[in-house]
Amino acid sequence: MSTKTVGDRELLIRIDERQSNMMDKMTTLNKKMDTMVPNDDEYKETKAKVDSLWDSKNKMIGWLLGSGVVGGSVSVALQNIVKIVFASMK
C-alpha cells in the first residue's frame, strides 16, 4: 500500500469517528429540546396556577406557625395564672 492510501484510510476513519461523535451530541441535544416547555398561553396559565398554589401553601404554613406560637403562649400564660392562683390559696 502506498502512503497516500494509508493516509486516506486514516482520514476516513477519523471523519467517521467525528461524525459518530457529532451524531451522539445531536441526539442528546434533540432529547433535551423535546423536554423543553413551549412558551405559550397554556403554559403561562398553568404556571400562574402553580405559583398561586405555592402562595396559598406558604400562607397556610405561616398561619399554622403563628397559631402555634400564639396557642403555646396562651397555654403557658394560663398555666402560670393557675399556679399563682393555687399558690395564693395555700
The model's pLDDT over 15-64, given as tens digits with 9 standing for 90+, comes to 999 999 999 999 998 888 877 777 788 888 888 888 889 898 999 999 99
If asked whether residues 55 and 71 sit together in one domain, one would say yes
If asked whether residues 43 and 26 sit together in one domain, one would say no
If asked whether residues 52 and 75 sit together in one domain, one would say yes
What's the pTM value of the predicted model, to 2 decimals? Answer: 0.43
**Contact yes or no for 37/43 (Cβ under 8 A):** yes
If asked whether residues 43 and 63 sit together in one domain, one would say yes
Query: First vs last Cα of the chain: how many Å apart?
Result: 116
Domain count, the chain: 2
If asked whether residues 21 and 53 sit together in one domain, one would say no
If asked whether residues 13 and 48 sit together in one domain, one would say no
Strand, coil or helix: what is 35?
Answer: coil
If asked whether residues 26 and 52 sit together in one domain, one would say no
Domain containing 21 equals 1-36
